[in-house]
Amino acid sequence: MKTISERTRALHPGGLGSALRSAWPVVAGVVVALVLQSVLAPAVGPFAAKMVLDIGIAIVLAVSLNIVNGFAGQFSIGHAGFMMVGGYAAAIVTYYGSIKLWGSPEPHGGFLGSGDLLFLFACVLGGCVAALAGLVVGLPSLRLRGDYLAIVTLGFGEIMRVLAQRSKDVLYPEDVAGKSMWEVSDNLGGALGFSGLPSYVSPTPWNEDTGHAGIFFVYLIVAIVLISAYRLKLSSKGRALLAVRENEIAAEAMGINTSRVKVAAFVMAAFFAGVGGALFAHEFGNTLTPRELGFQKSIDIVIMVVLGGMGSISGAVVAAAALTLMPELFREFAEYRMIIYALALILVMILRPQGLFGIKELWETTAWRRIRARIVRGKEAP
Amino acid sequence: MKLGGPVVMLGLLIVQHGFPKFLQTLVNSVALGSLYALIALGYTLVYGVLRFINFAHSDVFAVGAWLSFTFATAFGWVATSSPLWGMPLVLLLVMAACALLGVTIEILAYRPLRKAPRLNVLITAIGVSLFLQNVGQLSSVFGTQPQRMPSLIEDRSLFTIAQVHIRLVDVTVIALALALMMALQWMVFRTRLGRAMRAVSFDEKVASLMGINVNRVVTITFAIGSALAAAGGLLFALKYEGLKQTADATWVLLGLKAFVAAVVGGIGNVRGAVAGALLIGVVEVFGASYLSPHMRDVYVFVILIVVLLLKPSGILGKAVREKV
Give which of A305, A309, A336 is closest to A323, Cα–Cα.
A305
A18 Cβ contact list (under 8 Å, min separation 6): A12
CB contact (8 A) between residue A302 and residue B312: no
A299 to chain B: closest CA residue: B126
ipTM: 0.81
Q: Which of the residues A74, A144, A346 would you substitute to probe the B interface, choosing the one with the greatest number of B C-beta atoms within 10 Å?
A: A346
Q: With contacts defined as CB-CB under 8 Å, which chain A residues touch B248? A: none
Domain count, chain A: 1
Is the pLDDT at B254 greater than 70, yes or no? yes
Does a structural domain hold residue A347?
no
Topology annotation, domain B4-310: ABC transporter involved in vitamin B12 uptake, BtuC (1.10.3470)
More confident residue, A77 or A10: A77
B116 to chain A: closest CA residue: A353
HSE at residue B296, side-chain half, CA atoms within 13 A, is 17
Contact at 8 Å (CB) between B113 and B121?
yes
Q: What is the pLDDT of residues A108-129, one digit of tens each?
A: 777 777 788 888 999 999 999 9
A307 to chain B: closest CA residue: B123
CB contact (8 A) between residue B134 and residue A77: no
Q: With contacts defined as CB-CB under 8 Å, which chain B residues touch A294? A: 249
Q: Looking at residues B184-198, what average pLDDT do you find?
A: 90
Q: Out of A151, A156, A158, name the one closest to residue B253 (CB).
A: A158
Q: With contacts defined as CB-CB under 8 Å, which chain A residues touch B121? A: 349
Q: What is the pLDDT of residues B168-178, one digit of tens each?
A: 888 888 888 88
CATH number of the CATH domain containing A35: 1.10.3470
A77 in reach of chain B (CB within 8 A): yes
Contact at 8 Å (CB) between A305 and A70?
yes
Q: With contacts defined as CB-CB under 8 Å, which chain B residues touch A150? A: 53, 55, 122
Q: With contacts defined as CB-CB under 8 Å, which chain A residues touch B138? A: 335, 339
CB contact (8 A) between residue B122 and residue A151: no
**Residue A366: phi, psi to the nearest 5?**
-65, -40
Is the pLDDT at B244 greater than 70, yes or no? yes
Q: Which of the residues B121, B123, B260, B311 would you substitute to probe the A interface, choosing the one with the greatest number of A C-beta atoms within 10 Å?
A: B123
CB contact (8 A) between residue A295 and residue B249: yes
Hey, which residues 170-229 in chain A have their CB within 8 Å of chain B?
none
CB contact (8 A) between residue A342 and residue B128: yes
Q: Out of B127, B139, B305, name the one closest to residue A345 (CB).
A: B127
Q: What is the pLDDT of residues A185-233, one digit of tens each?
A: 778 888 888 888 888 887 776 555 555 678 888 999 999 999 999 999 8
Q: What percent of chain A has pLDDT over 70?
A: 94
Confidence of residue B1 (pLDDT cuts 50, 70, 90): very low
Most confident of A233-242, B81-90, B292-301: A233-242
Contact at 8 Å (CB) between B237 and B68?
yes
pLDDT at A382: 45
CB pairs under 8 A between A and B: 117
Q: With contacts defined as CB-CB under 8 Å, which chain A residues touch B304? A: 151-152, 155
Burial of A218 (0-12, 13-18, 19+ CB in 10 A): buried
Q: Tell me what the pLDDT averaged over chain A comes to.
A: 83
Confidence of residue A133 (pLDDT cuts 50, 70, 90): very high
A69 to chain B: closest CA residue: B119
Q: With contacts defined as CB-CB under 8 Å, which chain A residues touch B252? A: 154, 158, 295
Q: Which residues pair with residue B160 across a beta bridge?
A: B165
Residue range(s) defining the domain that contains residue A131: 26-294
Q: Which of the residues A68, A75, A158 would you substitute to probe the B interface, choosing the one with the greatest number of B C-beta atoms within 10 Å?
A: A158
CB contact (8 A) between residue B305 and residue A73: no
DSSP B189-226: HHSHHHHHHHHHHH-HHHHHHTT--HHHHHHHHHHHHH
CB contact (8 A) between residue B109 and residue A346: yes
Burial of B45 (0-12, 13-18, 19+ CB in 10 A): buried
Is the pLDDT at A332 greater than 90, yes or no? no
In angstroms, the CA A18 to CA B302 distance is 49
pLDDT at A13: 62
CB contact (8 A) between residue A140 and residue B259: no
Hey, which residues 52-71 in chain A have their CB within 8 Å of chain B?
69
Q: Looking at residues B267-281, what average pLDDT do you find?
A: 88
Confidence of residue B322 (pLDDT cuts 50, 70, 90): low
Does a structural domain hold residue A354?
no
pLDDT at B311: 78
In angstroms, the CA B87 to CA B151 distance is 9
Is the pLDDT at B151 greater than 80, yes or no? no
Q: With contacts defined as CB-CB under 8 Å, which chain B residues touch A140? A: 305, 308-309
In angstroms, the CA A118 to CA A98 distance is 8
Q: With contacts defined as CB-CB under 8 Å, which chain B residues touch A146? A: 118-119
Q: Out of B122, B309, B322, name the one closest to residue A150 (CB).
A: B122
Is the pLDDT at B323 greater than 60, yes or no? no
A75 in reach of chain B (CB within 8 A): yes
Q: With contacts defined as CB-CB under 8 Å, which chain A residues touch B104? A: none
Most confident of A322-326, B94-98, B136-140: B94-98
Give which of B309, B59, B99 is closest to B222, Cα–Cα.
B99
Does a structural domain hold residue A349?
no
Is the pLDDT at A60 greater than 90, yes or no? yes
A248 to chain B: closest CA residue: B324
CB contact (8 A) between residue A349 and residue B120: yes
Distance from CA of B12 to the nearest CA of A (A): 29
In angstroms, the CA B122 to CA B280 distance is 24
Distance from CA of B45 to the nearest CA of A (A): 16
CB contact (8 A) between residue A147 and residue B52: yes
Q: Which residues pair with residue A194 across a beta bridge?
A: A288
Distance from CA of A293 to the nearest CA of B (A): 12
Is the pLDDT at B248 greater than 90, yes or no? no
CB contact (8 A) between residue A294 and residue B263: no
In angstroms, the CA B161 to CA B23 distance is 9
In angstroms, the CA A322 to CA A374 distance is 26
Q: Which residues pair with residue B161 across a beta bridge?
A: B164
Q: Tell me what the pLDDT averaged over chain B comes to.
A: 84
Q: CB atoms < 10 A from the CB of A378, how many? A: 8
Helix A146-166 × helix B118-137 angle, to 10°: 40
More confident residue, B196 or A379: B196
Q: What percent of chain A has pLDDT over 90?
A: 25
Is the pLDDT at B289 greater than 90, yes or no? no
Confidence of residue A272 (pLDDT cuts 50, 70, 90): very high
Q: Looking at residues A309-330, what average pLDDT do you find?
A: 86
In angstroms, the CA A103 to CA A85 distance is 25
Q: CB atoms < 10 A from the CB of B313, how many? A: 18
CB contact (8 A) between residue A338 and residue B263: no
Does a structural domain hold residue A322?
no
Helix A79-102 × helix A295-308 angle, to 10°: 120
Q: What is the pLDDT of residues B64-93, one digit of tens each?
A: 999 988 888 887 666 666 666 778 888 899
CB contact (8 A) between residue B131 and residue A339: yes
Q: Looking at residues B29-42, what average pLDDT do you find?
A: 91
More confident residue, B79 or A357: A357
